[in-house]
Amino acid sequence: MCNITFVNHASVLIEAEGIRLITDPWLEGRVFHNGWDLIAKSKFSFDDFADITHIWFSHEHPDHFFPPNVKRIPEAMREKICILYQQTADQKVVDYCRNLGFRTQELPHHKWVELTPGFRVLCGPVPVYDSWLMLDAGGKCIVNLNDCELNQINDIEPLQQYLPRPVDLLLSQFGYASWKGNPEEKQAREDGAREILERLGAQASVLKPRYLLPFASLIYFCHEENSYLNDSINTIAGAAEYIQNQTQATPVVMYPGETWSIGQLHDNAEPLARWQADYETIPRDLQVSQTVSWDDLQKHSAAYLARMREKNNRLLVAALSRIGFFPQLKIHLWDLDRVVAFDLRRGISPSDASAEDADVAMSSESLAFIFQFDWGMDTVYVNGRFRAAPEGFSRFIRTFALGIMNNTGRRFGFGLILDWQYTRQSIVRLVRLLRGRKEAIEEYQV
């Protein structure tokens, strides 16, 4: 027997053979620089970790690995919990958890790891950060794809070789989770919402699960700068209807705190009603920005440049900057009512460009965040707290791409040739970006 309890968003608790494994436990708090919040409150509490044996984190994004929540797990419980995480070059997540007092185990790529007789797991990486988990537990096969970018049939088919038996339960994202155009570009969001459902359909057609649990999209955009993105989100009811009508799988909808024995009859009516009541409350309690002064932006820019020069091949970056590969970006800071320029050679400087001529627009708070953290641009892309001109999005991504690469433990230099899988994925995405803004909106994912 294998039981699953829905915790929230991308978090579930799987119980079998004495193992109690929880995935991606984001229980409370706003993430992505105050850009996302949970639609429903979690019933699972930090004290409930007393009975947990394992935690699996899929990747570093804070809706999956949220350090403020991890630190709230009582210290006395940590030594009894083993953190499972994909093997990475920098071991950043594993080291962080080990320093907090957790036991840790890195999962080798595409190899089964037995946690106890009758319960084993297999983890597969998906560039740039993500990973999926396959579980053979209590006689059931579970595949957790969370929000992995497995969009096409040929992306999904390689997973078939690892399946120990037919898939009993597939868990996957059902809604867009990032910037999808400016406020007036509603069609971009409607297209993005449809494409995520089509991805669900492709995953179901290849993996052929008996049941499909839509999850990892149970958030709303909670800032005054991004709340417009809520206008076209897929609801869980819409996802369940799509699964019912467009796949061979049976949809399973669960609400926080609900437990289901996989394979037993499940009634979606009550959880659907509870979710609908929650959807009707959003957007709520919208966050507001704090202005960052021009002097502080200059300091943050200087620190960012110093970091990029230390972590990357300076000559190669300079050469590519001169030919426009790393362009100068014009940024309208709407709270300071000024346009600034930024590039990797000179840093930030005043610009005579008008707001209409800027590549992107955002608050000074968001720009400061990009400067302060290697993952800053990734966060701003996901939280959608910016606007972009027709060709501005591509320039925005290229200007700050080095930080994203560095955040994976990689250095931009000639050594990337040896890291072929990552380099190939990066080239494919850059080519798509350079084709123009429409494909950038549709194709770029971090």
| Residue given tokens 């350090």 in the structure block | 67
pLDDT at 275: 99
The CA-atom distances, in angstroms, between 163 and each of 4, 146, 158, 210 are: 19, 17, 10, 14
| Mean pLDDT of all residues belonging to the chain | 94
pLDDT at 440: 47
The conformation of residue 23, written as its DSSP 8-state character, comes to E
pTM for the model stands at 0.93
- How many angstroms separate the CA atoms of 33 and 199, rounded? 28
pLDDT at 130: 94
| Residue given tokens 């991004």 in the structure block | 226
Question: In this model, does residue 190 exceed pLDDT 80?
Answer: yes
- How many angstroms separate the CA atoms of 280 and 25, rounded? 25
The conformation of residue 229, written as its DSSP 8-state character, comes to G
pLDDT digits (tens, 9 = 90+) for 145-181: 999 999 999 999 999 999 999 999 999 999 999 999 9
Check residues 17 and 416 and name the one with the higher pLDDT. 17
- Of 159, 155, 246, nearest to 197 (Cα)? 246
* Amino acid in position 126: V
The conformation of residue 294, written as its DSSP 8-state character, comes to H
Question: In this model, does residue 444 exceed pLDDT 60?
Answer: no
- Sign, CA dihedral 103-109-115-119, equals positive
pLDDT at 436: 41
Task: Walk me through the domains of the chain, giving residue ranges and CATH numbers.
Answer: 3-279 (3.60.15.10), 294-443 (no CATH)
pLDDT digits (tens, 9 = 90+) for 243-277: 999 999 999 999 999 999 999 999 999 999 999 99
- How many angstroms separate the CA atoms of 345 and 305, rounded? 8
Averaged pLDDT, 59-72: 98
Q: At what angle are helices 376-383 and 364-372 packed, to 10 degrees?
A: 140
Give the residue ranges of DSSP H helices in 280-412: 294-311, 314-322, 364-372, 376-383, 392-399, 401-407
Averaged pLDDT, 124-141: 95
